[in-house]
Structure 1
Amino acid sequence: MTRDAAVDAAALPIRPLTPDDLDLVCHHRHAMFLEAGKEPEDLARMTPAFRAWLAPRLNDGSYFGFVAMDGERPVAGIGLMEIAWPPHPLHPDQDRRGYVLNVYVEPAYRQRGLAHALMKWADNAFSARGLHYAVLHATDMGRPLYERLGWSQTTEMAKAVQAGRDG
């Protein structure tokens, strides 16, 4: 049995993200979207822009999260943010929400509870910041896990807005 196949998620340490994790988070985001079926050409444009966006946020702590480690090897990660949002029926006394993004587990480490563990760490981090409501955008692969953890569908819709078009 390989080391990867024998790994027990409960035995792997989880540590906070640091600014030194810039390459790792960019790699995880790129791989996540590639596996979700996004076009490589789009990702080639997105990844450098994301890197430029992420670097100052990792440095100032406005993008935070956790990494699961197998020895010196990072094998899973989660990104978190606190976002401004007007009071809402689901959080009538708060003007902010937690936001979960970039949940990724390296393929050899999947189905061992790492994403579940990272989501629990996210809950604790949001709670420690006084955030009582959080959102995420799920891939098809991640949706069953999030549903098992109590996340539910919302009424959100989206569209790309074309600049310079009238009416």
Structure 2
Amino acid sequence: MTVTLRPVAPSDCDLICRHRHDMFQAAGDHKAAKAALTPAYRNWQQHALQSGSYFGFIAEVDGAAVGGVGLMVVDWPPHQLNPDVLQRGYVLNVFVEPEHRGQGIAKDMMAASDAAFQKRNVTHAVLTATDQARPIYEKDGWQQTAQMAKEIR
């Protein structure tokens, strides 16, 4: 089996939305899975792809998409641990089809992501990991941080 990675394109919008849905569904987050299929998310995703603010890779086997990873560069204030860092890479929508997991595809996508961030001079990246995926990311050098969220009404 030969896996190839290609850059995401605006024509991948439906695929990315489906991957996002399936990613949240597999994690047991049914509200987030449902949100991934809303017109609001699809419109955001299409705009982000067209503007280039969302980039990343689609993994293919024999021309069929089997996974993907999304990347963004976001402005970020300097922090005591990274006082000179004004932007962070943001990794999202990491997904590999169940029948292709355990074959190193996610590892290849994450290595390509690191290279894409390096090309953009991004030296610090963040992502949100499920409990299931956290040990995999930790093996690749990711460290857990404390983050909280609040809805402002």
Structure 2 match to 1:35? 26
CA deviation vs aligned residue, 1:78-123 (integer Å, no higher than 9, x gap): 0000001111123211211000000000001000000011010010
Distance 1:147 1:135 in 2: 12
Structure 2 match to 1:59? 50
Distance 1:148 1:91 in 2: 22
For the aligned residues, what is the CA RMSD?
1.3
TM-score (norm 1): 0.86
Structure 1 match to 2:67? 76
Q: Mapping of 1:70-109 within 5 angstroms?
A: 70-109=61-100
Q: Extract unaligned runs of 5+ from structure 1.
A: 1-6
Does residue 148 (structure 1) correspond to residue 139 (structure 2)? The answer is yes
Does residue 120 (structure 1) correspond to residue 91 (structure 2)? The answer is no
Pairs aligned (count)? 152
Distance 1:111 1:91 in 2: 33
Distance 2:92 2:56 in 1: 9
Q: Secondary structure at the match of 2:92?
A: strand
Distance 2:17 2:35 in 1: 12
Asked whether the 8 Å contact 1:98–1:126 carries over to 2, the reply is yes
Query: Could you say which structure has the larger radius of gyration?
Result: 1
Structure 1 match to 2:34? 44
TM-score (norm 2): 0.94
Percent sequence identity is: 47
Asked whether the 8 Å contact 2:20–2:36 carries over to 1, the reply is no
Q: Secondary structure at the match of 2:37?
A: helix
Runs of 4+ that moved beyond 6 A: none
